[in-house]
A = this chain, B = another copy of it.
Amino acid sequence: MEKLTSKQQNIYDYIKECLTAGGYTPTMREIADYFGYSSTNTVNDHLQTLAKKGYIIKKPGTARGIILTEAAAACEKHNQGVPIIGRVAAGTPISAIENLDGYLELSEFYDERHFALHVKGDSMIDAGIWDGDFVIVREQQIIHNGEIGVAIVEGEATVKRITINHTEAILYPENEYYSPIRVDLNITDFRIAGKVVGLHRVIR
């Protein structure tokens, strides 16, 4: 991607800022006023360059018709995730960029298909799911035998390792002190709410 001059960068940043702060992009006059340009043509020139370099899309004949190509732009920044730090060199500040291993993308769960369930009890302790943890569940009706999922039995949600055949479902706890639960599908109200795809724990 072609680099921006500092003035172009400033204008780009201002547009971004307007979007985040106010919710809509500025007009050319507003940009001109902000930077002290007396003519909107100055801004027009800059915007055309930004468009040519691929940073924005300009909708012709449209008031405030600037789209930041960096997709959802303003939003994305927030959804960048928690930086993952790798090896840490002595003396350097922990957040030094050299140690960056990428980003822990928690926001992948931020859609309608995912929900969290607050785990109560220790029936899944051997699977590393503790009392008080949040399991992150992707809503789906089908689960492969042996996967950990959320089952709704008589209206109550439980997290278990699940196996299903034509006539019964077996819910396996992961705790030696608990026994598997057999559910007769002809008698009992049963359905799969989703598959456990993540776990989140708050540590104090």
Contact A203 B148 (CB under 8 A): yes
- Which chain B residue shows the least CB distance to A193? B94
Number of copies of this protein chain within its complex: 2
Interface size on A, as a range, is 35 or more
| A93 and B132 alpha carbons, distance in the complex (Å) | 24
A203 close to B193 (CB less than 8 A): no
Hey, which chain B residues are within 8 Å of A22, CB to CB? 67
A115 to B78, Cβ gap below 8 A? Answer: no
Indicate if A116 sits at the interface (CB-CB under 8 A): yes
Is residue A60 contacting chain B, with contact meaning CB distance below 8 A? Answer: no
**Given A90-B189, A130-B128, A95–B115 Cβ distance below 8 Å?**
yes
Per-position binary interface string of chain A over residues 144-169, scored 1 when its CB falls under 8 Å from any chain B CB and 0 otherwise = 00001000101111000000000000
Q: Which of A23, A27, A118, A130 has most B Cβ within 10 Å?
A: A23
Contact with B along A117-154 (1 / 0, CB 8 A): 11000000000101000101001000000001000101
Shortest CB–CB separation between residue A131 and chain B, in angstroms? 10
Q: Which of A80, A85, A193 has the most CB of B within 10 A?
A: A85
Please, how many angstroms separate the alpha-carbon atoms of A202 and B202 in the complex?
A: 15
CB neighbours (8 Å) of A104 from chain B are 116, 134, 136, 200
Q: In this complex, which of A110, A193, A200, A203 has the most chain B Cβ atoms within 10 angstroms of its Cβ?
A: A203
Residues of A within 8 A of B (CB): 19-20, 22-25, 27, 63-68, 72-75, 78-90, 94-95, 101, 104, 106-107, 109-110, 112, 114-118, 128, 130, 134, 136, 139, 148, 152, 154-157, 189, 193-194, 196-204
